[in-house]
A and B are shown apart, each in its own frame.
Chain A
Protein backbone atom coordinates (compact mmCIF):
# COMPACT_ATOMS: atom_id res chain seq x y z
CA UNK A 1 0.00 0.00 0.00
CA UNK A 2 1.29 3.48 -0.86
CA UNK A 3 2.18 5.84 1.98
CA UNK A 4 0.12 8.58 0.35
CA UNK A 5 -2.82 7.70 -1.82
CA UNK A 6 -5.09 10.32 -3.36
CA UNK A 7 -7.92 9.64 -5.75
CA UNK A 8 -10.18 12.20 -7.40
CA UNK A 9 -9.53 14.91 -4.82
CA UNK A 10 -11.70 17.99 -5.29
CA UNK A 11 -11.74 21.15 -3.23
CA UNK A 12 -14.07 24.04 -3.78
CA UNK A 13 -14.26 27.29 -1.82
CA UNK A 14 -17.33 29.46 -1.48
CA UNK A 15 -16.18 33.04 -1.79
CA UNK A 16 -18.23 36.06 -0.78
CA UNK A 17 -17.78 38.36 -3.76
CA UNK A 18 -17.12 41.95 -2.71
CA UNK A 19 -18.58 44.74 -4.80
CA UNK A 20 -17.46 48.37 -4.96
CA UNK A 21 -19.81 51.27 -4.09
CA UNK A 22 -21.84 52.10 -0.99
CA UNK A 23 -25.24 50.91 -2.27
CA UNK A 24 -23.74 47.76 -3.73
CA UNK A 25 -22.21 46.99 -0.32
CA UNK A 26 -25.63 47.35 1.34
CA UNK A 27 -27.22 45.24 -1.39
CA UNK A 28 -24.55 42.57 -1.00
CA UNK A 29 -25.10 42.62 2.77
CA UNK A 30 -28.78 41.77 2.26
CA UNK A 31 -28.23 39.41 -0.66
CA UNK A 32 -24.56 38.35 -0.73
CA UNK A 33 -23.05 37.17 -3.98
CA UNK A 34 -21.43 33.84 -3.33
CA UNK A 35 -19.08 32.41 -5.90
CA UNK A 36 -17.80 28.86 -5.94
CA UNK A 37 -14.13 28.61 -6.81
CA UNK A 38 -12.60 25.28 -7.73
CA UNK A 39 -9.16 25.04 -6.18
CA UNK A 40 -8.53 21.35 -6.85
CA UNK A 41 -10.07 19.33 -9.63
CA UNK A 42 -9.81 15.55 -9.66
CA UNK A 43 -6.30 15.23 -8.22
CA UNK A 44 -4.94 11.69 -8.07
CA UNK A 45 -1.50 10.32 -7.24
CA UNK A 46 0.29 7.80 -5.07
CA UNK A 47 3.54 8.31 -3.21
CA UNK A 48 5.59 5.45 -1.83
CA UNK A 49 7.49 5.31 1.45
CA UNK A 50 10.74 7.29 1.37
CA UNK A 51 9.95 9.21 -1.84
CA UNK A 52 10.79 12.91 -1.99
CA UNK A 53 8.41 14.48 -4.46
CA UNK A 54 8.47 18.04 -5.78
CA UNK A 55 5.07 19.65 -6.10
CA UNK A 56 5.32 22.64 -8.36
CA UNK A 57 3.08 25.10 -10.11
CA UNK A 58 2.44 28.82 -10.55
CA UNK A 59 0.80 30.97 -7.87
CA UNK A 60 -2.77 29.89 -7.17
CA UNK A 61 -2.27 26.53 -8.89
CA UNK A 62 -3.46 24.55 -5.85
CA UNK A 63 -0.15 23.39 -4.32
CA UNK A 64 -0.74 24.70 -0.81
CA UNK A 65 -4.43 23.70 -0.90
CA UNK A 66 -3.36 20.14 -1.69
CA UNK A 67 -0.90 20.12 1.22
CA UNK A 68 -3.58 21.54 3.53
CA UNK A 69 -5.95 18.74 2.52
CA UNK A 70 -3.23 16.15 3.06
CA UNK A 71 -2.35 17.45 6.50
CA UNK A 72 -6.00 17.53 7.58
CA UNK A 73 -6.41 21.31 7.72
CA UNK A 74 -9.02 21.37 4.98
CA UNK A 75 -11.98 19.14 4.38
CA UNK A 76 -11.99 17.91 0.80
CA UNK A 77 -15.15 18.63 -1.18
CA UNK A 78 -14.83 15.27 -2.89
CA UNK A 79 -12.46 12.39 -3.46
CA UNK A 80 -10.42 10.14 -1.27
CA UNK A 81 -7.20 10.63 0.70
CA UNK A 82 -5.42 7.95 2.68
CA UNK A 83 -2.07 8.62 4.33
CA UNK A 84 -0.36 5.91 6.39
CA UNK A 85 -3.80 4.32 6.55
CA UNK A 86 -5.48 7.42 8.01
CA UNK A 87 -8.00 9.85 6.57
CA UNK A 88 -6.32 13.20 7.31
CA UNK A 89 -9.44 15.33 7.80
CA UNK A 90 -10.39 13.23 10.84
CA UNK A 91 -7.26 14.65 12.50
CA UNK A 92 -6.73 11.63 14.74
CA UNK A 93 -3.92 12.07 17.26
CA UNK A 94 -2.15 8.94 16.00
CA UNK A 95 -2.03 10.47 12.50
CA UNK A 96 -0.94 13.93 13.64
CA UNK A 97 1.93 12.35 15.59
CA UNK A 98 3.29 10.87 12.36
CA UNK A 99 3.22 13.94 10.17
CA UNK A 100 4.51 17.46 10.09
CA UNK A 101 3.65 20.47 7.98
CA UNK A 102 6.15 23.27 7.60
CA UNK A 103 4.87 26.39 5.95
CA UNK A 104 7.50 28.94 4.97
CA UNK A 105 7.87 31.69 7.50
CA UNK A 106 4.75 30.92 9.52
CA UNK A 107 5.59 29.64 12.92
CA UNK A 108 4.48 27.44 15.75
CA UNK A 109 7.19 28.87 18.01
CA UNK A 110 6.16 31.02 20.99
CA UNK A 111 7.24 34.42 19.78
CA UNK A 112 8.24 35.94 23.13
CA UNK A 113 9.94 32.88 24.58
CA UNK A 114 13.14 31.07 23.68
CA UNK A 115 12.66 28.24 21.16
CA UNK A 116 13.59 25.69 23.81
CA UNK A 117 10.27 26.37 25.57
CA UNK A 118 8.37 25.41 22.41
CA UNK A 119 10.56 22.32 22.03
CA UNK A 120 9.77 21.26 25.60
CA UNK A 121 6.07 21.78 24.91
CA UNK A 122 6.26 19.73 21.71
CA UNK A 123 8.00 16.98 23.67
CA UNK A 124 4.87 16.70 25.81
CA UNK A 125 2.40 17.21 22.93
CA UNK A 126 3.96 14.42 20.88
CA UNK A 127 4.72 12.32 23.97
CA UNK A 128 8.39 11.94 23.08
CA UNK A 129 10.41 9.95 25.61
CA UNK A 130 13.23 11.75 27.44
CA UNK A 131 15.89 9.77 25.59
CA UNK A 132 14.43 10.33 22.13
CA UNK A 133 13.88 14.01 22.88
CA UNK A 134 17.48 14.53 23.94
CA UNK A 135 18.74 12.58 20.95
CA UNK A 136 16.51 14.36 18.41
CA UNK A 137 17.15 17.80 19.84
CA UNK A 138 20.90 17.19 19.95
CA UNK A 139 20.99 15.90 16.37
CA UNK A 140 18.78 18.60 14.90
CA UNK A 141 20.44 21.54 16.64
CA UNK A 142 23.86 20.20 15.69
CA UNK A 143 23.05 19.67 12.01
CA UNK A 144 21.25 23.00 11.76
CA UNK A 145 23.91 24.77 13.87
CA UNK A 146 21.48 26.42 16.30
CA UNK A 147 22.63 24.90 19.58
CA UNK A 148 23.62 28.27 21.03
CA UNK A 149 20.48 30.10 19.94
CA UNK A 150 17.84 27.86 21.53
CA UNK A 151 17.87 29.99 24.69
CA UNK A 152 17.28 33.32 22.91
CA UNK A 153 13.69 34.65 22.59
CA UNK A 154 12.38 33.80 19.11
CA UNK A 155 11.57 37.43 18.26
CA UNK A 156 15.29 38.26 18.52
CA UNK A 157 16.40 35.60 16.03
CA UNK A 158 17.15 36.24 12.37
CA UNK A 159 14.79 34.82 9.74
CA UNK A 160 17.23 32.04 8.92
CA UNK A 161 17.65 31.08 12.55
CA UNK A 162 13.88 31.14 13.05
CA UNK A 163 13.34 28.85 10.08
CA UNK A 164 15.88 26.42 11.50
CA UNK A 165 14.10 26.50 14.87
CA UNK A 166 10.80 25.86 13.06
CA UNK A 167 12.36 22.81 11.49
CA UNK A 168 13.63 21.57 14.85
CA UNK A 169 10.16 22.04 16.38
CA UNK A 170 8.49 20.28 13.46
CA UNK A 171 10.89 17.34 13.38
CA UNK A 172 11.47 16.58 17.06
CA UNK A 173 8.88 13.80 16.91
CA UNK A 174 10.55 12.30 13.81
CA UNK A 175 7.55 12.45 11.47
CA UNK A 176 7.22 9.72 8.86
CA UNK A 177 5.52 12.07 6.42
CA UNK A 178 6.63 15.63 5.90
CA UNK A 179 4.82 18.37 4.00
CA UNK A 180 7.15 21.23 3.20
CA UNK A 181 5.52 24.32 1.77
CA UNK A 182 8.13 26.76 0.50
CA UNK A 183 10.70 25.84 3.16
CA UNK A 184 13.41 28.08 1.66
CA UNK A 185 11.32 31.17 1.00
CA UNK A 186 12.99 34.38 2.10
CA UNK A 187 16.30 32.70 2.94
CA UNK A 188 19.63 33.78 1.51
CA UNK A 189 21.45 31.52 -0.96
CA UNK A 190 23.76 29.99 1.66
CA UNK A 191 20.86 29.20 3.98
CA UNK A 192 18.83 27.80 1.08
CA UNK A 193 21.60 25.33 0.34
CA UNK A 194 21.92 24.32 3.98
CA UNK A 195 18.18 23.78 4.18
CA UNK A 196 18.24 21.65 1.02
CA UNK A 197 21.10 19.53 2.36
CA UNK A 198 19.20 19.05 5.57
CA UNK A 199 15.99 17.95 3.82
CA UNK A 200 17.90 15.48 1.62
CA UNK A 201 19.67 14.09 4.68
CA UNK A 202 16.44 13.73 6.66
CA UNK A 203 14.79 11.93 3.75
CA UNK A 204 17.60 9.38 3.51
CA UNK A 205 18.30 8.94 7.22
CA UNK A 206 14.69 8.62 8.39
CA UNK A 207 13.27 7.12 5.19
CA UNK A 208 10.67 9.86 5.46
CA UNK A 209 8.11 10.47 2.74
CA UNK A 210 8.32 14.13 1.75
CA UNK A 211 6.26 16.40 -0.46
CA UNK A 212 7.94 19.69 -1.18
CA UNK A 213 6.52 22.78 -2.83
CA UNK A 214 8.85 25.55 -3.86
CA UNK A 215 9.11 28.49 -6.16
CA UNK A 216 12.85 27.93 -6.30
CA UNK A 217 13.43 25.42 -9.04
CA UNK A 218 16.88 24.78 -7.53
CA UNK A 219 15.11 23.19 -4.54
CA UNK A 220 13.23 20.79 -6.77
CA UNK A 221 16.15 20.13 -9.12
CA UNK A 222 18.48 19.26 -6.24
CA UNK A 223 16.09 17.26 -4.10
CA UNK A 224 13.41 15.57 -6.18
CA UNK A 225 13.66 12.74 -8.67
CA UNK A 226 9.93 12.90 -9.20
CA UNK A 227 7.87 16.01 -9.78
CA UNK A 228 4.16 16.64 -9.89
CA UNK A 229 3.17 19.77 -11.75
CA UNK A 230 -0.17 21.33 -10.96
CA UNK A 231 -1.87 24.17 -12.76
CA UNK A 232 -5.36 25.59 -12.24
CA UNK A 233 -6.15 22.80 -9.78
CA UNK A 234 -5.28 19.97 -12.19
CA UNK A 235 -2.23 17.77 -12.39
CA UNK A 236 -0.52 18.34 -15.72
CA UNK A 237 2.60 16.26 -15.21
CA UNK A 238 3.59 13.47 -12.86
CA UNK A 239 6.88 11.76 -13.52
CA UNK A 240 10.64 11.93 -13.45
CA UNK A 241 12.28 15.32 -13.42
CA UNK A 242 14.87 14.20 -16.00
CA UNK A 243 12.18 13.08 -18.43
CA UNK A 244 10.47 16.43 -18.00
CA UNK A 245 13.67 18.23 -18.93
CA UNK A 246 14.22 15.99 -21.95
CA UNK A 247 10.65 16.43 -23.13
CA UNK A 248 10.45 20.18 -22.77
CA UNK A 249 14.03 21.28 -23.36
CA UNK A 250 13.38 21.79 -27.08
CA UNK A 251 16.18 24.29 -27.62
CA UNK A 252 19.82 24.99 -26.79
CA UNK A 253 21.25 28.28 -25.72
CA UNK A 254 24.28 29.53 -27.69
CA UNK A 255 26.40 32.22 -26.01
CA UNK A 256 28.78 33.81 -28.51
CA UNK A 257 31.33 36.62 -28.25
CA UNK A 258 32.45 38.16 -31.55
CA UNK A 259 35.81 39.91 -32.01
CA UNK A 260 34.35 42.37 -34.55
CA UNK A 261 30.99 44.06 -34.82
CA UNK A 262 28.31 41.95 -36.52
CA UNK A 263 25.07 42.98 -38.19
CA UNK A 264 22.24 41.78 -35.95
CA UNK A 265 19.84 41.28 -38.89
CA UNK A 266 22.04 38.60 -40.40
CA UNK A 267 21.67 36.53 -37.21
CA UNK A 268 17.89 36.48 -37.08
CA UNK A 269 17.52 33.46 -39.38
CA UNK A 270 19.48 31.19 -36.99
CA UNK A 271 17.04 31.32 -34.10
CA UNK A 272 15.54 33.58 -31.48
CA UNK A 273 17.85 36.31 -30.20
CA UNK A 274 17.57 36.53 -26.46
CA UNK A 275 20.07 39.34 -26.06
CA UNK A 276 22.57 41.15 -28.24
CA UNK A 277 24.74 43.74 -26.53
CA UNK A 278 28.00 45.06 -27.96
CA UNK A 279 29.58 41.92 -29.43
CA UNK A 280 27.86 39.45 -27.16
CA UNK A 281 24.99 37.31 -28.39
CA UNK A 282 22.61 34.91 -26.65
CA UNK A 283 20.71 32.85 -29.14
CA UNK A 284 18.02 30.19 -28.66
CA UNK A 285 18.38 27.50 -31.32
CA UNK A 286 16.21 24.48 -32.08
CA UNK A 287 17.59 21.33 -30.39
CA UNK A 288 17.42 19.38 -33.70
CA UNK A 289 19.46 21.86 -35.73
CA UNK A 290 21.84 23.42 -33.23
CA UNK A 291 24.90 21.47 -34.42
CA UNK A 292 24.50 22.62 -37.99
CA UNK A 293 23.76 26.20 -36.87
CA UNK A 294 26.82 26.22 -34.61
CA UNK A 295 29.04 25.09 -37.46
CA UNK A 296 27.73 27.84 -39.77
CA UNK A 297 28.20 30.51 -37.12
CA UNK A 298 31.73 29.37 -36.34
CA UNK A 299 32.71 29.30 -40.02
CA UNK A 300 31.09 32.50 -41.23
CA UNK A 301 31.36 34.87 -38.27
CA UNK A 302 34.36 36.31 -36.38
CA UNK A 303 33.80 34.21 -33.25
CA UNK A 304 36.10 34.78 -30.30
CA UNK A 305 34.25 32.65 -27.73
CA UNK A 306 31.50 30.06 -28.19
CA UNK A 307 29.43 28.19 -25.62
CA UNK A 308 26.49 25.75 -25.87
CA UNK A 309 24.18 25.29 -22.87
CA UNK A 310 20.95 23.54 -22.02
CA UNK A 311 18.05 25.87 -21.29
CA UNK A 312 17.46 26.95 -17.71
CA UNK A 313 15.07 24.80 -15.72
CA UNK A 314 12.84 27.82 -15.11
CA UNK A 315 12.37 28.11 -18.89
CA UNK A 316 11.44 24.46 -19.15
CA UNK A 317 8.85 24.75 -16.40
CA UNK A 318 7.48 27.88 -18.03
CA UNK A 319 7.10 26.07 -21.32
CA UNK A 320 5.23 23.25 -19.53
CA UNK A 321 2.75 25.76 -18.12
CA UNK A 322 2.36 27.41 -21.50
CA UNK A 323 1.86 24.11 -23.30
CA UNK A 324 -1.66 24.31 -24.71
CA UNK A 325 -1.79 20.54 -25.19
CA UNK A 326 -1.79 19.97 -21.45
Chain B
Protein backbone atom coordinates (compact mmCIF):
# COMPACT_ATOMS: atom_id res chain seq x y z
CA UNK B 1 0.00 0.00 0.00
CA UNK B 2 2.90 2.31 0.84
CA UNK B 3 4.11 2.21 -2.75
CA UNK B 4 0.81 3.58 -4.01
CA UNK B 5 0.91 6.31 -1.40
CA UNK B 6 4.37 7.26 -2.72
CA UNK B 7 3.10 7.26 -6.33
CA UNK B 8 0.26 9.52 -5.19
CA UNK B 9 2.74 11.81 -3.47
CA UNK B 10 5.08 11.93 -6.50
CA UNK B 11 2.15 12.85 -8.76
CA UNK B 12 1.27 15.75 -6.49
CA UNK B 13 4.92 16.83 -6.59
CA UNK B 14 4.76 16.72 -10.40
CA UNK B 15 1.89 19.23 -10.31
CA UNK B 16 3.97 21.41 -8.04
CA UNK B 17 6.89 21.23 -10.49
CA UNK B 18 4.71 22.69 -13.25
CA UNK B 19 3.03 25.58 -11.52
CA UNK B 20 2.53 27.64 -14.69
CA UNK B 21 0.99 24.74 -16.64
CA UNK B 22 -1.23 24.07 -13.68
CA UNK B 23 -2.31 27.72 -13.52
CA UNK B 24 -3.26 27.72 -17.23
CA UNK B 25 -5.18 24.50 -16.80
CA UNK B 26 -7.23 26.11 -13.99
CA UNK B 27 -7.79 29.30 -16.02
CA UNK B 28 -9.19 27.12 -18.81
CA UNK B 29 -11.59 25.47 -16.36
CA UNK B 30 -12.79 28.85 -15.04
CA UNK B 31 -13.30 30.20 -18.58
CA UNK B 32 -15.32 27.08 -19.48
CA UNK B 33 -17.45 27.58 -16.36
CA UNK B 34 -18.09 31.23 -17.25
CA UNK B 35 -18.92 30.44 -20.89
CA UNK B 36 -21.41 27.76 -19.87
CA UNK B 37 -22.98 30.07 -17.29
CA UNK B 38 -23.41 33.02 -19.68
CA UNK B 39 -24.67 30.79 -22.50
CA UNK B 40 -27.49 29.33 -20.41
CA UNK B 41 -28.27 32.72 -18.81
CA UNK B 42 -28.81 34.11 -22.33
CA UNK B 43 -30.93 31.14 -23.38
CA UNK B 44 -33.16 31.67 -20.33
CA UNK B 45 -33.22 35.47 -20.67
CA UNK B 46 -36.91 35.56 -21.64
CA UNK B 47 -38.28 32.52 -19.88
CA UNK B 48 -37.94 30.58 -16.65
CA UNK B 49 -38.61 27.13 -18.09
CA UNK B 50 -37.24 25.51 -21.27
CA UNK B 51 -36.95 21.87 -22.40
CA UNK B 52 -38.92 20.98 -19.29
CA UNK B 53 -36.09 22.36 -17.09
CA UNK B 54 -36.48 25.38 -14.79
CA UNK B 55 -33.66 27.92 -15.05
CA UNK B 56 -32.02 27.08 -11.71
CA UNK B 57 -31.79 23.39 -12.59
CA UNK B 58 -30.24 23.92 -16.02
CA UNK B 59 -27.72 26.38 -14.53
CA UNK B 60 -26.89 23.88 -11.81
CA UNK B 61 -26.57 21.13 -14.44
CA UNK B 62 -24.21 23.20 -16.56
CA UNK B 63 -21.99 24.37 -13.70
CA UNK B 64 -21.79 20.92 -12.16
CA UNK B 65 -21.01 19.64 -15.65
CA UNK B 66 -17.67 21.46 -15.52
CA UNK B 67 -16.95 19.94 -12.17
CA UNK B 68 -17.90 16.43 -13.38
CA UNK B 69 -15.81 16.94 -16.51
CA UNK B 70 -12.80 17.54 -14.31
CA UNK B 71 -13.48 14.54 -12.15
CA UNK B 72 -14.89 11.94 -14.54
CA UNK B 73 -13.79 12.84 -18.05
CA UNK B 74 -10.22 13.91 -17.38
CA UNK B 75 -7.60 11.20 -17.23
CA UNK B 76 -4.03 10.55 -18.26
CA UNK B 77 -4.68 6.83 -18.60
CA UNK B 78 -4.50 7.24 -22.40
CA UNK B 79 -0.71 7.51 -21.95
CA UNK B 80 -0.81 3.70 -21.94
CA UNK B 81 -0.99 4.04 -25.70
CA UNK B 82 2.33 5.91 -25.84
CA UNK B 83 3.94 3.61 -23.31
CA UNK B 84 3.12 0.53 -25.36
CA UNK B 85 4.22 2.19 -28.59
CA UNK B 86 7.46 3.61 -27.24
CA UNK B 87 8.26 0.53 -25.18
CA UNK B 88 8.34 2.42 -21.89
CA UNK B 89 5.76 -0.06 -20.59
CA UNK B 90 8.83 -2.22 -19.96
CA UNK B 91 9.94 -0.08 -17.04
CA UNK B 92 6.77 -1.09 -15.17
CA UNK B 93 6.82 -4.72 -16.24
CA UNK B 94 10.28 -5.33 -14.82
CA UNK B 95 9.32 -4.02 -11.41
CA UNK B 96 7.05 -5.73 -8.88
CA UNK B 97 4.23 -3.26 -9.35
CA UNK B 98 0.73 -3.45 -10.78
CA UNK B 99 0.71 -1.33 -13.93
CA UNK B 100 -2.96 -0.40 -13.71
CA UNK B 101 -2.80 0.35 -10.00
CA UNK B 102 0.14 2.65 -10.77
CA UNK B 103 -1.86 4.64 -13.32
CA UNK B 104 -5.06 4.61 -11.31
CA UNK B 105 -3.17 6.04 -8.33
CA UNK B 106 -1.71 8.78 -10.53
CA UNK B 107 -5.17 9.49 -11.88
CA UNK B 108 -6.65 9.60 -8.38
CA UNK B 109 -4.04 12.21 -7.40
CA UNK B 110 -4.88 14.27 -10.51
CA UNK B 111 -8.59 14.02 -9.81
CA UNK B 112 -8.27 15.04 -6.19
CA UNK B 113 -6.19 18.09 -7.16
CA UNK B 114 -8.72 18.96 -9.89
CA UNK B 115 -11.66 18.41 -7.55
CA UNK B 116 -10.19 20.57 -4.79
CA UNK B 117 -9.48 23.45 -7.11
CA UNK B 118 -12.81 23.26 -8.94
CA UNK B 119 -14.64 23.42 -5.61
CA UNK B 120 -12.73 26.58 -4.71
CA UNK B 121 -13.32 28.10 -8.16
CA UNK B 122 -16.99 27.16 -8.15
CA UNK B 123 -17.44 28.75 -4.72
CA UNK B 124 -15.73 31.97 -5.86
CA UNK B 125 -17.90 32.14 -8.99
CA UNK B 126 -21.07 31.52 -6.98
CA UNK B 127 -20.14 34.34 -4.59
CA UNK B 128 -19.28 36.73 -7.46
CA UNK B 129 -22.11 35.92 -9.89
CA UNK B 130 -24.74 34.89 -7.37
CA UNK B 131 -26.56 32.69 -9.89
CA UNK B 132 -29.93 31.09 -9.17
CA UNK B 133 -28.91 27.52 -8.42
CA UNK B 134 -30.64 24.40 -7.24
CA UNK B 135 -29.00 23.34 -3.97
CA UNK B 136 -29.62 19.68 -3.17
CA UNK B 137 -30.12 19.15 0.55
CA UNK B 138 -31.38 15.55 0.59
CA UNK B 139 -28.74 13.24 2.12
CA UNK B 140 -29.99 10.34 -0.03
CA UNK B 141 -29.56 12.27 -3.28
CA UNK B 142 -26.13 13.62 -2.32
CA UNK B 143 -24.90 10.14 -1.30
CA UNK B 144 -26.17 8.48 -4.46
CA UNK B 145 -24.72 11.35 -6.52
CA UNK B 146 -21.25 10.71 -5.03
CA UNK B 147 -21.55 6.95 -5.58
CA UNK B 148 -22.58 7.50 -9.20
CA UNK B 149 -19.67 9.84 -10.00
CA UNK B 150 -17.18 7.34 -8.60
CA UNK B 151 -18.74 4.64 -10.81
CA UNK B 152 -18.67 7.09 -13.73
CA UNK B 153 -14.98 7.88 -13.21
CA UNK B 154 -14.10 4.16 -13.15
CA UNK B 155 -16.26 3.50 -16.25
CA UNK B 156 -14.56 6.28 -18.22
CA UNK B 157 -11.15 5.08 -17.09
CA UNK B 158 -12.04 1.62 -18.35
CA UNK B 159 -13.30 2.87 -21.72
CA UNK B 160 -10.11 4.86 -22.38
CA UNK B 161 -7.98 1.96 -21.12
CA UNK B 162 -9.67 -0.41 -23.58
CA UNK B 163 -9.02 1.96 -26.48
CA UNK B 164 -5.41 2.49 -25.38
CA UNK B 165 -4.73 -1.22 -24.98
CA UNK B 166 -5.59 -1.71 -28.65
CA UNK B 167 -2.12 -0.20 -29.27
CA UNK B 168 -0.80 -3.72 -28.77
CA UNK B 169 -2.23 -4.46 -32.22
CA UNK B 170 -2.97 -1.07 -33.86
CA UNK B 171 0.01 1.22 -33.67
CA UNK B 172 -1.81 4.53 -33.47
CA UNK B 173 -4.99 4.67 -31.45
CA UNK B 174 -5.17 8.45 -31.08
CA UNK B 175 -7.55 8.94 -34.06
CA UNK B 176 -9.85 6.32 -32.54
CA UNK B 177 -9.55 7.94 -29.13
CA UNK B 178 -10.21 11.39 -30.59
CA UNK B 179 -13.40 10.16 -32.26
CA UNK B 180 -14.44 8.24 -29.16
CA UNK B 181 -13.97 11.24 -26.85
CA UNK B 182 -16.18 13.46 -29.06
CA UNK B 183 -18.87 10.78 -29.32
CA UNK B 184 -18.69 9.99 -25.62
CA UNK B 185 -18.99 13.68 -24.68
CA UNK B 186 -22.14 13.94 -26.76
CA UNK B 187 -23.68 10.63 -25.66
CA UNK B 188 -22.81 11.25 -22.01
CA UNK B 189 -24.76 14.49 -21.87
CA UNK B 190 -21.79 16.85 -21.76
CA UNK B 191 -23.36 19.38 -24.08
CA UNK B 192 -26.96 19.29 -22.80
CA UNK B 193 -29.17 17.02 -20.68
CA UNK B 194 -29.93 13.85 -22.64
CA UNK B 195 -33.65 13.89 -21.79
CA UNK B 196 -34.20 16.88 -24.07
CA UNK B 197 -33.46 14.53 -26.99
CA UNK B 198 -36.38 12.71 -28.74
CA UNK B 199 -37.94 10.17 -26.38
CA UNK B 200 -37.10 7.09 -28.52
CA UNK B 201 -33.44 8.06 -28.80
CA UNK B 202 -33.24 8.77 -25.08
CA UNK B 203 -34.74 5.35 -24.27
CA UNK B 204 -32.00 3.68 -26.32
CA UNK B 205 -29.26 5.81 -24.77
CA UNK B 206 -30.12 4.79 -21.23
CA UNK B 207 -28.80 1.31 -22.07
CA UNK B 208 -25.44 2.67 -23.27
CA UNK B 209 -22.61 3.03 -20.75
CA UNK B 210 -22.08 6.68 -21.70
CA UNK B 211 -25.30 7.93 -20.11
CA UNK B 212 -23.85 6.98 -16.74
CA UNK B 213 -20.75 9.11 -17.16
CA UNK B 214 -22.33 12.57 -16.86
CA UNK B 215 -26.09 12.72 -17.34
CA UNK B 216 -27.11 10.12 -14.77
CA UNK B 217 -25.01 11.50 -11.86
CA UNK B 218 -26.23 15.03 -12.58
CA UNK B 219 -29.84 13.94 -12.71
CA UNK B 220 -29.33 12.23 -9.36
CA UNK B 221 -28.01 15.49 -7.89
CA UNK B 222 -31.05 17.32 -9.23
CA UNK B 223 -33.21 14.63 -7.58
CA UNK B 224 -35.42 14.07 -10.61
CA UNK B 225 -35.11 10.31 -10.86
CA UNK B 226 -37.75 7.70 -9.88
CA UNK B 227 -36.50 4.91 -7.62
CA UNK B 228 -36.90 2.22 -10.32
CA UNK B 229 -34.69 4.23 -12.68
CA UNK B 230 -32.06 4.68 -9.94
CA UNK B 231 -31.88 0.91 -9.42
CA UNK B 232 -31.83 0.28 -13.18
CA UNK B 233 -29.13 2.93 -13.74
CA UNK B 234 -26.85 1.68 -10.99
CA UNK B 235 -27.32 -1.93 -12.18
CA UNK B 236 -26.61 -1.11 -15.83
CA UNK B 237 -23.50 0.91 -14.94
CA UNK B 238 -22.14 -1.82 -12.64
CA UNK B 239 -22.75 -4.47 -15.31
CA UNK B 240 -20.78 -2.37 -17.83
CA UNK B 241 -18.09 -1.75 -15.23
CA UNK B 242 -17.60 -5.50 -14.70
CA UNK B 243 -17.80 -6.30 -18.43
CA UNK B 244 -15.18 -3.69 -19.25
CA UNK B 245 -12.95 -4.92 -16.44
CA UNK B 246 -13.09 -8.45 -17.84
CA UNK B 247 -12.36 -7.14 -21.32
CA UNK B 248 -9.36 -5.13 -20.05
CA UNK B 249 -7.88 -8.18 -18.36
CA UNK B 250 -8.40 -10.20 -21.55
CA UNK B 251 -6.76 -7.52 -23.73
CA UNK B 252 -3.88 -7.10 -21.26
CA UNK B 253 -3.15 -10.82 -21.16
CA UNK B 254 -3.30 -11.19 -24.94
CA UNK B 255 -1.50 -7.89 -25.51
CA UNK B 256 1.49 -8.79 -23.37
CA UNK B 257 1.99 -11.87 -25.50
CA UNK B 258 2.35 -9.73 -28.59
CA UNK B 259 4.25 -6.91 -26.85
CA UNK B 260 7.59 -6.39 -28.56
CA UNK B 261 9.09 -3.94 -26.03
CA UNK B 262 10.22 -1.92 -29.04
CA UNK B 263 12.23 1.22 -28.60
CA UNK B 264 13.86 0.01 -25.43
By a beta-carbon cutoff of 8 Å, the part of chain A in contact with chain B is: 13-14, 68, 71-75, 91, 93, 96-97, 99-101, 103, 106-108, 110, 112-113, 117-118, 120-122, 124-126, 153
Contacts and interface: CB of A to CB of B under 8 A. Distances in A.
Nearest to A73: B261
18 contacts: A71-B94, A73-B261, A74-B260, A96-B95, A103-B90, A106-B87, A106-B88, A108-B91, A110-B10, A110-B14, A112-B14, A112-B17, A112-B18, A113-B10, A113-B17, A117-B13, A120-B6, A126-B96
A102 to B, nearest CB: 10
Contact of B97 (A99, A106, A120, A125): A125
B2 interface: yes
Contacts of A110: 10, 14
B91 A107 contact: yes
A125 B264 CA distance: 22
Nearest to B90: A73
A122 B260 CA distance: 25
B38 to A, nearest CB: 36
A100 B14 CA distance: 26
B94 to A, nearest CB: 5
B17 A153 contact: yes
A113 B6 contact: no
B: interface residue count bin: 20 to 34
B13 A74 contact: no
A88 to B, nearest CB: 10
A113 B88 contact: no
B95 A108 contact: yes
Contact of B261 (A68, A121, A124, A126): A68
Most buried by B among A71, A100, A107, A121: A121
B94 A13 contact: no
B3 A73 contact: no
A73 B6 CA distance: 25
Nearest to B92: A108
Interface of B: 2-3, 5-7, 10, 13-14, 17-18, 87-88, 90-91, 93-97, 256-261, 264
Contacts of A112: 14, 17-18
A106 B14 CA distance: 20
Nearest to B263: A106
B94 A72 contact: yes
Contacts of B14: 110, 112-113
A108 B95 CA distance: 10
Which of B10, B17, B96, B261 has the largest count of A CB atoms less than 10 A from its CB? Answer: B96
Contacts of A72: 93-94
A68 B259 CA distance: 11
B10 A117 contact: yes
A121 B259 contact: no
A291 B13 CA distance: 69
A12 to B, nearest CB: 11
Given A106-B88, A112-B14, A121 B257 contact: no
Contacts of A108: 91, 95
B260 A121 contact: no
B9 to A, nearest CB: 8
B17 A96 contact: no
A73 B7 contact: no
A323 B2 CA distance: 55
Contact of A74 (B5, B18, B96, B259): B259
A125 B256 contact: no
A73 B5 CA distance: 26
B95 A125 contact: yes
B96 to A, nearest CB: 4
A254 to B, nearest CB: 44
Contacts of A101: 90, 94
A124 B3 contact: yes
A103 B257 CA distance: 21
A11 to B, nearest CB: 10
A100 B6 CA distance: 21
Given A74-B261, A121-B3, A113 B95 contact: no
A96 B96 contact: yes
A113 B13 contact: yes
A6 B3 CA distance: 33
B12 to A, nearest CB: 11
Nearest to A155: B17
A97 B96 contact: yes
A99 B94 contact: yes
Given A68-B90, A73-B94, A153-B17, 9 more contacts: A13-B260, A14-B258, A75-B257, A103-B264, A106-B91, A108-B95, A112-B14, A124-B2, A125-B95
A126 B97 CA distance: 9
Contacts of B94: 71-73, 96, 99-101
A94 to B, nearest CB: 8
